[in-house]
Structure 1
């Protein structure tokens, strides 16, 4: 049985897991970032992976690793020297760009905001590719599928946007998700310094994908009519479709599976709103709250404490946003050649709380499925690595095998649900 070390670079933490070819999660760790300076956010990524591995293998000494795969938030940009522009930092207002690319406005912002770094850096990476560079010294740009070129860049579009030929050379060539980027170098292996865990010089490192693509692969949202709720710092309700559907509130992009598409309704600050609320409550109380304890206090609030009542309102509003997104997708796909789904898979931090999941089921009217690995980006990494290793014939087969539901929440009637 082969195993993959999977890691996902999030906005506030790095998650890592060892996942086997049958979908079992053999080890898991999450390391929070300090993020005292977002300009140097990348400086936390590699040490966090090392620390996560130390924890996982100390607790699971018999686990072996046959390959490594990384995903990360995008379009975060990192210079080869480590300076970083995070995905959620606003682009410069002076930039005028009307094309499809998600990266060109970010690249222009990086160049304008940090010109000395831009000019001196040999290479500009996304978060995923920067980690691959540290592990393997290989320089790659990962693209999930051919149709994503329009959402990344091409030479003509870069030159038209004001970049020079020298600028274009800073961006590595495209590698597809699931291809091997390189092998772990002796220098990188020395940081792990473990014995008998399989993380040794020469361990293959496979190309993952941006985190949202990995989440779709990790929830098997790769067949028409499959729906998932990717709930982290931001939240995206995603629907796989056989043809593109359009609406002012929908972002339509290709699926990683050729011929299919993904329609998404995005809420940029869904989880961030809850995190800000949690920090406010902790500051006022003078101590930290466990996530599940705070959610419970909020959802069972009877109005006697305005703080928890505010929390109940916030959690309900986030669930209502999900229902609104589902309604938008349902309306836009009413003439599609598939039946709109009656269930949705949820992934991310919100998926870890049963009460919040039940609330979403009650409000959306859909059955909520929680995957075995709450952080489906990690399962998605396993999907791409095992496909690259030829354990599975293709990405769809791998995702259908590895994505497994651990819990299911069905909608309750309003009186029982308390809404």
Structure 2
């Protein structure tokens, strides 16, 4: 059996992760470290060099024997986050993350010109940045790590609409193309080149390592969960939430994004929510004032809790695309404590998912299987609440870090020349399935109607607030 190993890197909003996989998709090394900044006055920036320092630390944590067997590195990451570098490859300021709200007053007018909602958020940032920027290249977090590994300025992603948060047409429409440059695109699965000697020395790895082009985290999660067939939906639950449906039919829903899938003749119908896992973290740390709440403390809480939570602590993206939405607890009583409210936060995230899935299905989308991944998938109560609220089974893959596994699958295919769809089907294994409780689902349906009414009746108040 071959001993080659495949290193992967995921630059997340909260954590930077490094993992190593073997040819069978088994994880042989795992490292992660928190790397984030606080949101302040609608500003959310981070120094990209902090990501690189964590990557270096991750590689230094490996055993020497593991590092020696690595033949490739593939990188993915969060977004849309804008990293600007000058033509000599040096950074121009800090990275502007997707949580940053500067320039968001332009989003409505941008969307009216036919620009995709996700791209519109980045264009709004660039309109704001144009006045303080010089001629720079636009990178995503994963591209910046590739720059550190190879010295090359590239965009690594699938060569289709919807896999980069910008395009030439959008930049030209808003007269941004002379200030912001789009690098050469290296399609997913291709070799970008060998690691540069300086980076190899820093990471303590072989100079013959190939750097393989990955793609944004949501795309790698689709590969890493095997969400590659008609009617399959990937639920990525981290700091934020991404729902992506693989569909044979091109179905357009107002508030959602429909773009080509990376498999021929398929479409991806996507939604992104802003503060889902972040809401859980916020309540745990800022309200309950504890970093660790044992699951055993929550499973005894009555469900449904009867408290409706709107998880919009920093505005909301899908399906509203409204920066003025805010979080709400509705239905509080003297019986509620931090435990019941934390469960209501989880329920609120599930209601938000239900709202989006209902929108998809009302437009003719077929949702036959849901696979959950990310930090939320590690929480059995969260998985069960999702199943109960949605009335659908939730499948949990064996590897929670599907973005990293997706990178490994892409790298292995570059090495073996195997088709990534076939390899994904072979490597991805389901470890557990959560089935809905019919009784709880019936009760949750009643509370879901209250959840929807809260939005409709308070839109004007959100604007005034």
Class of the TM-score when normalised by the shorter of the 2 chains? 0.7 to 0.9
1:162 corresponds in structure 2 to 175
**Deviation of 1:120 (Å):** 6.0
Give the match for residue 8 of structure 1: 10
User: What does the per-residue CA deviation read over 1:99-132, in whole Å, with 9 as the maximum and x for residues that have no partner?
Assistant: 435447525624633755x3164x3311111110
- In the other structure, the counterpart of 1:196 is none
State the shift of 1:70 in Å.
Answer: 0.6
- The aligned residue for residue 370 of structure 1 is 396
Q: 5+ residue gaps in structure 2?
A: 303-333, 445-465
1:135 to 2:149 alignment: yes
Deviates more, 1:82-91 or 1:96-105: 96-105
Report 1:395-406 matches (<5 A).
Answer: 395-406=420-431
Equivalent pair of 2:387/2:393 in contact (CA under 8 Å): yes
Instruction: Report Cα offsets for 1:225-253 as digits up to 9, x if no partner.
Output: 11221111111222110121122243212
Q: Distance in 2 between matches of 1:415 and 1:111?
A: 47
CA distance in 1, matches of 2:257, 2:120: 17
Query: Relative to 1, partners in 2 of residues 1:138 and 1:107: Cα closer, same or farther, differing over 3 Å?
Result: farther
What is the count of residue pairs matched by the alignment? 396
Per-residue Cα deviation, 1:124-159 (whole angstroms, up to 9, x for no partner): 3111111100011111112313344896312x5423
- Deviation (angstroms), 1:321: 2.4
Q: 1:282 offset after TM fit, Å? A: 5.0
Match of 1:125 among 130, 139, 142: 139
Query: What is the CA-CA distance between 1:274 and the residue it aligns to?
Result: 1.0
| C-alpha separation in 1, matches of 2:172 and 2:277 | 37
Which residue of 2 is the match for residue 74 of structure 1?
A: 79
- Distance 1:304-1:86 versus aligned 2 partners, 3 A rule: same
Mapped to 1, the partners of 2:6 and 2:155 lie a distance apart of: 21
The reply to whether residue 289 of structure 1 matches residue 315 of structure 2 is no
1:310 to 321, 337, 341: 341
Q: Report the CA distance between 1:94 and its aligned residue.
A: 5.6
Q: Relative to structure 1, is the Cα distance of residues 103 and 138 closer, same or farther in structure 2, using a 3 angstrom cutoff?
A: farther
Going from structure 1 to structure 2, the CA distance change for 1:296 and 1:44 (only over 3 Å counts) comes to: farther
2:347 corresponds to 1:347:
no
Alignment of 1:408 onto 2:433: yes
Offset of residue 216 of structure 1: 1.2
Q: Secondary structure at the match of 1:35?
A: coil
Q: Which residue of 2 aligns with 1:252?
A: 258
Residue deviations 1:284-303 (CA, integer Å, cap 9, x gap): xxx5315xx1x442342368
Are residues 1:320 and 2:313 paired? Answer: no
**Other-structure match for 1:33:** 35
Give the structure, 1 or 2, with the largest relative contact order (CA under 8 Å, sep 6 or more). 1
Cα contact 2:388–2:441 (8 A) shared by 1: no
Tell me the secondary structure at the aligned position of residue 389 of structure 1.
Answer: helix
The unaligned stretches of length 5 or more in structure 1 are 194-198
Q: Distance in 1 between matches of 2:67 and 2:442?
A: 44
2:122 maps to 1:106: yes
1:359 equivalent in alignment to 2:359: no
Q: Tell me the residue number matched to 2:227.
A: 221
Per-residue CA deviations over 1:299-358 (Å, capped at 9, x if unaligned) read: 423686611111121112222322333322223225xxxx641x3110111011122212
Structure 1 CA distance for aligned equivalents of residues 123 and 271 of structure 2: 24
Distance 1:280 1:416, change over 3 A: same
3-state secondary structure, aligned to 1:325:
helix
Q: CA RMSD in A?
A: 2.9
Rate the CA distance shift 1:61–1:153 in 2: closer, same or farther, 3 A.
Answer: closer
Q: Secondary structure at the match of 1:202?
A: coil
After superposition, what is the alpha-carbon deviation per residue over 1:169-219, rounded to whole angstroms, capped at 9, x for unaligned? x321111111111221111122223xxxxx322311111111111111111
**Structure 1 equivalent of residue 192 of structure 2:** 181
Rounded Cα–Cα distance in structure 2 between residues aligned with 1:364 and 1:104 = 30
- Provide the rounded CA distance (Å) in 2 between the counterparts of 1:65 and 1:75: 29
SS at the partner of 2:70? coil
For residue 301 of structure 2, give the secondary structure of its aligned residue in structure 1. Answer: coil
- Check the 8 A contact 2:157/2:164 in 1, yes or no: no
Indicate whether 1:235 and 2:248 are aligned. Answer: no
Q: Secondary structure at the match of 2:239?
A: coil
| Distance verdict in 2 for CA 1:220–1:415, change over 3 Å | closer
Q: Is the CA contact 2:76–2:403 (under 8 Å) kept in the aligned structure 1?
A: yes
Q: Deviations along 1:239-294, whole A, 9 cap, x unmatched? A: 110121122243212111121111123322211211111112453xxx5315xx1x
